[in-house]
Amino acid sequence: MLFCPKCGSLMKPCLEGKKRILVCGCGYKTSKIGETTLKETISKESKLHIDVVEEEKTAHPLVDKECPKCGYKKAYFWEIQTRAADEPATQFFKCKKCKHTWRHYD
């Protein structure tokens, strides 16, 4: 690593034509790399790992609310501000049993 003598920032390698130089964000450039070896490698060994989510996990509180679809008496609850800031938030419920989601406006 080389640091800029002008501002102290880290110098980054860059190509200017076919010549490799070091450039700083402040505008300072130098071709005097010295005994520093610049090496760029791209590893193909890192494998992208994708997790498949079978079931949605939520951290919403469980409240006593009757589902209008199946009549079950427990539902998850959350609020979102869907209208203007001077109006109350919209309440959402999701039935624990049948997963039906509905909203309630105050």
Model confidence pLDDT, tens digit, residues 49-102: 788 877 767 689 999 999 999 999 999 999 999 888 898 999 999 999 999 999
**Considering 16, 66, 79, 87, which one is annotated as catalytic?**
87
SS3 97: coil
**Considering 54, 56, 86, 106, which one is annotated as catalytic?**
86
Residues 1, 36 within the same domain: yes
* pLDDT at residue number 66: 95
33 domain-assigned: yes
Known catalytic residue at 54: no
49 domain-assigned: no
67 domain-assigned: yes
- How many structural domains is the chain composed of? 2
53 domain-assigned: no
DSSP-assigned beta bridge partners for residue 79 = 91
On the question of pLDDT at 42 being above 90, the answer is: no
14 domain-assigned: yes
**d(Cα 24, Cα 6) in Å, to the nearest integer?**
9
Range of the domain at 78: 62-104
Closest CA to 63 of 104, 105, 93, 98: 93
* pLDDT at residue number 17: 83
Q: Is 75 exposed, middle or buried (0-12, 13-18, 19+ CB in 10 A)?
A: buried
Domain at 90, CATH number: 2.20.25.10
89 domain-assigned: yes
Q: What is the pTM of this model?
A: 0.47
- Do 79 and 61 form a contact (C-beta atoms < 8 A)? no
Residue 5 pLDDT level (bands cut at 50, 70, 90):
confident
Known catalytic residue at 66: no
